[in-house]
Amino acid sequence: MTKTDIAKRVYDHTWKLDPVIRSLLDTDFYKLLMLQMIWGLYPQVDATFSLINRTKTVRLADEIDIAELRDQLDHARSLRFSKKEMIWLAGNTFYGSKQIFRPDFLAWLSEFQLPEYELARRDGRFELRFHGRWTETSMWEIPALAIINELRSRATMRSMGPFSLDVLYARAKAKVWSKVERLRKLPDLRISDFGTRRRHSFLWQRWCVEALKEGLGDALTGTSNVKLAMDTDLEALGTNAHELPMVLAALAPDDEALLEAPYQVLRDWNQYYGGNLLIVLPDTFGTESFLRGAPDWVADWTGFRPDSAPAIEGGEKIISWWKERGRDPREKLLIFSDGLDVDTIEKAYHHFHGRVRMAFGWGTNLTNDFEGCAPVEISSLNAISIVCKVSHANGRPAVKLSDNPEKATGAPGEIQRYLALFGETGRVAKPVKV
């Protein structure tokens, strides 16, 4: 008979709400890596982040109660890094280095609080914005998205009885495990969990990570979720994101500086990180444009993460670029992370195996794949594509072009201005599911 922990039950019931975010460490590792660089080099820059729902058929504000969302956001603002978390960040080895976070940055981080937000409901949509210092607003992206996704799941499951919920999770677990069984047939696979932003829930992400840890063994190289990395003794993994070139481009005083922004980001990054953290994200303003203008020293970096281009097409483009510059692709690393599931992982693995080192960041289709799992089909359990992107830096509009025009963000006029500078070569529209 299972012993009931009465003290824990009583303690849990003292919460005014069931928090989605219970730790500021419940974020992606690249946020902390980027934050250290932003804090060190751009402490006076303001940045506004805005929620964007790319799944136009879903009216989030009709599915999620705005008061409940506000309560969750307010709770996240009440959190601080704990002493245990700060000790772990200071003393743990990340990417082979024990001193990846500088003491003065950690001292500042120990007092960190998420800033205020602006929330409104209009025509079935949430208008959610975070405005303030870039060092503060950047940290809202991951918890805000995780909160919205989990509240959506909770709202749907309130109508389900205990047996329906049992069936739902039993089928979802079986679905994950069937994917694991396919993946463990791939020798030398390197895969990690990238599923925090659009997960079904924190508890479900934890279950998925632990299932991969048992089912894949050493093939699971880690998780992007810092809290789960600490709790499950896995590597915390991540590099950098589109917000860095987006902000630097927005701040550029002229077209020449704007075109140089993607490479200035890399110079800034290299002031703080080296080795396996030297991963290039080339697609913010189009991979073709990035490769065309890239200085030769970029080819000496460890690898690339081709994010929005199709895995095989994007990978082949980068391999050709390495070869043109006399580098051996077999010594380089490609990290695939865009909307992956087992089929796309297997296809890319077999295509590139033996030609280049590979790693896969498995996101939403790992931690939020409930399609076909409910006893009765419920579309509101299906994952949607929501993001939280930089919209302004120091009051100036920010833009992301992407290799997939469906992922472009920014004012239409600004997008056209950037396209005139960077070009449209290599941009191919494809539907965005997650």
Has residue 203 been placed in a domain? yes
Q: Which residue spans within 124-186 are E strands per DSSP?
A: 125-133
Report d(CA 251, CA 398) in Å as an integer.
Answer: 9
Report d(CA 423, CA 287) in Å as an integer.
Answer: 10
Confidence of residue 71 (pLDDT cuts 50, 70, 90): very high
Has residue 427 been placed in a domain? no
What confidence score (pLDDT) does residue 6 get?
53
Whether residue 179 sits in one domain with residue 130: no
- Residue numbers of the domain that contains 211: 162-368
**First-to-last C-alpha distance (Å) of the chain:** 42
Q: Is the pLDDT of residue 149 over 90?
A: yes
Whether residue 192 sits in one domain with residue 118: no
> 382, 236 in Cβ contact below 8 A?
no
Whether residue 404 sits in one domain with residue 315: no
The pLDDT of 77-100, averaged and rounded, is 95
Report d(CA 69, CA 114) in Å as an integer.
Answer: 15
Has residue 22 been placed in a domain? no
Q: The tokens 């539907």 sit on which residue?
A: 431
Whether residue 174 sits in one domain with residue 147: no
Whether residue 281 sits in one domain with residue 146: no
Strand 386-393 relative to strand 46-53, pairing: antiparallel
- Which residues fall within 8 angstroms of residue 72, CB to CB, at 6 or more apart? 17, 19, 20, 21, 147, 151
Whether residue 156 sits in one domain with residue 107: yes
Report d(CA 24, CA 293) in Å as an integer.
Answer: 38
Has residue 71 been placed in a domain? yes
Q: What angle do CA 322, 325, 329 make, to 5 degrees?
A: 30
> 222, 229 in Cβ contact below 8 A?
yes
**Which amino acid appears at position 13 of this protein?**
H
Whether residue 290 sits in one domain with residue 179: yes
Q: Give the phi and the psi of residue 404 in degrees, each rounded to 5.
A: -115, 110
Q: The tokens 């000496």 sit on which residue?
A: 300
The model's pLDDT over 267-309, given as tens digits with 9 standing for 90+, comes to 999 999 999 999 999 999 999 999 999 999 999 999 999 999 8
HSE at residue 424, side-chain half, CA atoms within 13 A, is 9
Q: What is the mean pLDDT of the chain?
A: 95
What confidence score (pLDDT) does residue 9 get?
60
Structure tokens at 423: 């070009």
> 426, 317 in Cβ contact below 8 A?
yes
What confidence score (pLDDT) does residue 379 get?
87
Q: What is the Rg, in whole angstroms, of the alpha carbon atoms belonging to the chain?
A: 21
Has residue 13 been placed in a domain? no
Has residue 3 been placed in a domain? no
Report d(CA 150, CA 162) in Å as an integer.
Answer: 19
Q: Which residue spans within 28-124 are E strands per DSSP?
A: 46-53, 118-122
What confidence score (pLDDT) does residue 433 get?
86
| Burial state string for 115-132 with b = 16 or more CB within 10 A and e = fewer than 16 | eebeeebeeebbebbbbb
Q: How many domains does the chain have?
A: 2
Whether residue 285 sits in one domain with residue 230: yes
Confidence of residue 384 (pLDDT cuts 50, 70, 90): very high
Whether residue 239 sits in one domain with residue 298: yes
Residue 310's CATH number: 3.20.140.10
Has residue 309 been placed in a domain? yes
